[in-house]
Chain A
């Protein structure tokens, strides 16, 4: 973590320096925006996390800018910056978080390059991800930060090639950036070695991924349009984003190697938009599936449908299915008996705009019928002016069993409130 923070500060200073150089020169191609935000999230249940009465209390200033210098015009260079400065009362520290800091170039009519820190997103899911294996921050997602913070930035080189009918993205990630997953510090969770829900007393020991100069992860996408349907093929070679392996020597959790092949389709259907996405997760450290310390290979798929119901009301529904490929071998090798071979999940989104679209009523639900657990995300936000907005929302978790995905989070119910001034 420390190393990451130092790096962020380094990036921040590099870009601030750049900023002043740019500002002192010709600034006609410069855009500049940002916001200041205060956020508070209250918890309700006794727990053993770092602070049991709240899990969000922070002030944040985001600055973002883009500068297109007047040099090498045919390369269309652009420098893009986005950084957050956060005073986090929860962790009692002030930190910088560089979310974007990249150079964008168009060296050829058919090629775009993006070099540096960037937020990467692809795939067709609504808060569901199969082929998007770029890092995510589920802690932010569950404590009530803006949805933007579900996505973590990556340090990457992204090359995009555009032909008439088909395009391709190739992403090289020199450093492995895992998800910010639930650890017991801010959110309590189920730890199998305790066989119960734990907080700080059961923070999982995770081996940080190795860092080096070699390329750690690669991702690619080929996409195009068939009629009015968008089709894409995906490839990923890297690591599980959550620590789904246990090291046989240290007994610490770690991030096993992973290769994923997948596809997606998205297009108009019955007056709405339908999508289908699937992926084959090849757990390359456990090809036979008989290692109970490493996640099994799996097939994952989801299908979704979104429709505009009129009067600024939109509804979306998705169904996701995951299937472990060597379940019998996994159990025979001593895998936990409470693990199911299949996982089914539904999601529902409702979004309603009112009062000249200044009021947004949002609702999102995850529901796993066999795990008998769910997660509800109601949200109300209002724009008082073009600059000032407020959001009130909640994260509710419920489940019959401690060890299911949302069931483990039941003590973390929260209500949060955010006020933001955009400039």
Chain B
């Protein structure tokens, strides 16, 4: 009779044990919180790019996202409003669970739908500090994650995790360190180091808000310490569970923007 009680006690005790998350679990949760919030999302992004000589560039776009599977396949539709020479241009990504993503570019001047090669996800998105991978998310399985410590960062309790790429040839960094908010699981800071151990790139979330019940990063700053380039991205008019249909992410809507894009 005693053994079952012991077993019961053990079972009751387990949940408290599992509260200590592994690095992989933290990264998975963070990936879901940052890139897969709700079933779909919509935002207007304003991007300010400033070079070391203080010259500024401005990009404004509408981003539509739809998750096909949480943590896996998802689609992005990015419609450019500014600058003038790329207005109406659309960049579309079908993010795949494995292998290369599918990417298209729509050039309105000649009504051309171009499929673009995607092997380099580390190239700059629209000329700023953020890479294509920063925009659509890096696959959690592409790195080995180690929990270094817990610490307070910017007034928040955070996990500090070291991420080492499994295939170093595909990326420009040797490793990066992520600070992840324990409460919301949003990443709040990333530090990228090169193979000489030198910090050369940082990404920081400067402002978050809870929108439709989902903690959301609404202002982020990227800095390239080697080139002096900084990029600030602000998200306004963020909405979740808009009811985006999967068919929006097709050639039809490259040529004719869907209603969800407010010009």
- A interface with B by C-beta (< 8 Å): 29, 31, 33-35, 66, 68, 76, 104, 106, 112, 118-121, 147-148, 150-151, 160, 162, 167, 223, 228, 230, 266-268, 271-273, 275, 306-312, 314, 356-358, 385-387, 389, 420, 422-423
Which residue, of A228, A310, A356, has the highest number of chain B Cβ atoms within 10 A?
A356
CB–CB A120/B84 < 8 A: no
Q: Which 6 A-B pairs have the closest CB atoms?
A: A357-B127, A386-B83, A422-B84, A308-B117, A148-B109, A422-B85
The answer to whether A310 and B119 have CB atoms under 8 Å apart is yes
Instruction: For the A-B complex with A121-B112, A151-B111, A357-B127 known, give 13 more contacts whose Cβ atoms are closer than 8 Å.
Output: A106-B256, A120-B111, A150-B110, A230-B115, A306-B117, A308-B118, A312-B123, A356-B57, A356-B127, A356-B229, A357-B126, A386-B57, A386-B84
**CA A306 – CA B116 in complex, angstroms?**
8
Nearest Cβ on chain B to A114's Cβ, whole angstroms? 8
**For residue B83, which residues in chain A have a CB less than 8 angstroms away from its CB?**
386-387, 422
Nearest CB in chain B: distance from A366 CB, A: 19
CB of B212 closer than 8 Å to a CB of A: no
Cα–Cα distance between A296 and B250 once the two chains are bound (Å): 38
Tell me which residues from 54 to 112 in chain B have a Cβ below 8 Å from any Cβ of chain A.
Answer: 55, 57-58, 82-85, 87, 99-100, 102, 109-112
Query: Is B119 in contact with A308, judged by CB distance below 8 angstroms?
Result: yes
Check A147–B110 contact: CB distance below 8 A: yes
Q: Indicate if the CB atoms of B127 and A121 lie closer than 8 Å.
A: no
Within the complex, the shortest CB–CB distance from B91 to chain A, in Å, comes to 14
Indicate whether B156 reaches chain A with its CB closer than 8 angstroms.
no
Give Cα A422–Cα B80 distance, bound, in whole angstroms.
15
Name the residue of chain B whose CB is nearest to the CB of A29.
B263
List the A residue with the shortest CB-CB distance to B100: A268
Q: Nearest CB to that of B122 among chain A residues?
A: A310
Per-residue interface assignment for chain B, residues 223 to 263, with 1 indicating a CB less than 8 Å from any chain A CB and 0 otherwise: 00001010000000000000000010011100010010001
Residues in chain A near residue B110, CB distance under 8 A: 119, 121, 147-148, 150-151
Q: Which of the residues B57, B115, B119, B252 comes within 8 Å of A112, measured between beta carbons?
A: B252
Judged by a CB distance under 8 angstroms, whether B49 is at the interface is yes
Q: Does B150 contact A (CB under 8 A)?
A: no
For the complex, give the distance between the alpha carbons of A389 and B85 in Å.
10
User: How many Å lie between the Cα of A358 and that of B53 in the bound state?
Assistant: 14
B51, B123, B259: which contacts A310 (Cβ < 8 A)? B123
Closest to A271 in B: B119
Interface residues of B (CB under 8 A from A): 49, 51, 55, 57-58, 82-85, 87, 99-100, 102, 109-112, 115-120, 122-124, 126-128, 227, 229, 247, 250-252, 256, 259, 263
The answer for the CA separation of A310 and B170 in the assembled complex, in Å, is: 9
Contact sample, A vs B, 7 pairs, CB 8 Å cutoff: A148-B109, A266-B115, A271-B117, A356-B57, A356-B124, A356-B229, A389-B85
Q: Are A162 and B117 in contact (CB under 8 A)?
A: no
Contact A35 B85 (CB under 8 A): yes
User: How near does chain A come to B30, taking the closest CB pair, in angstroms?
Assistant: 27
* Separation of A119 and B112 alpha carbons in the complex (Å): 9
Tell whether, in the assembled complex, residue A273 and residue B123 are in contact, meaning their CB atoms are under 8 Å apart.
no
Contacts of B116 on A, CB cut-off 8 Å?
Answer: 273, 306, 308
* Chain A hits for B57, CB < 8 A: 356, 358, 385-386
B100 partner residues in chain A, CB cutoff 8 A: 268, 271
Assembled-state Cα–Cα distance A283/B99 (Å): 44
Selected from A267, A272, A389, the residue in CB contact (under 8 A) with B119 is A272
The complex places the Cα of A98 from the Cα of B213 at a distance, in Å, of 49
Bound: A287/B112 CA distance, A: 33
Instruction: Give min CB distance, A97 to chain B, whole Å.
Output: 14
Q: Which residue of B lies closest to A126 (CB)?
A: B114
Contact partner, B247, options A35, A119, A162, Cβ 8 Å: A162
Question: Are A356 and B51 CB-contacts (below 8 A) given A148-B110, A150-B110, A151-B110?
Answer: yes
Chain B residues, Cβ within 8 Å of A268? 99-100, 102, 118
Q: How far is the CA of A387 from the CA of B87 in the complex (A)?
A: 12
Closest to B112 in A: A121
In the complex, A422 Cα to B85 Cα: how many Å? 6
Q: How many whole Å from B132's CB to the nearest CB in chain A? A: 10
A308: nearest residue on chain B (CB-CB)? B117
B223 to chain A, nearest CB (A): 13
Q: Which residue of A lies closest to B118 (CB)?
A: A308
Q: Which residues of B contact A35 (CB under 8 A)?
A: 84-85
Q: Which residue of B lies closest to A315 (CB)?
A: B117
| Neighbouring A residues of B112 by C-beta, 8 Å | 121
CA distance A293 to B5 in the complex (A): 100
CA A386 to CA B263, docked complex, whole Å: 19
What is the bound-complex CA distance between A290 and B114, given in angstroms? Answer: 40
Q: Is the CB of A112 within 8 A of B117?
A: no
Determine if A121 and B111 form an interchain contact, defined as CB atoms under 8 angstroms apart: yes
CB-CB under 8 A from B49, the residues of chain A are: 356
Cα A76 to Cα B57 with chains together (Å):
33
**In the complex the two chains form, what is the Cα distance from A29 to B257 in whole Å?**
13
Q: Which residues of B contact A310 (CB under 8 A)?
A: 119-120, 122-123
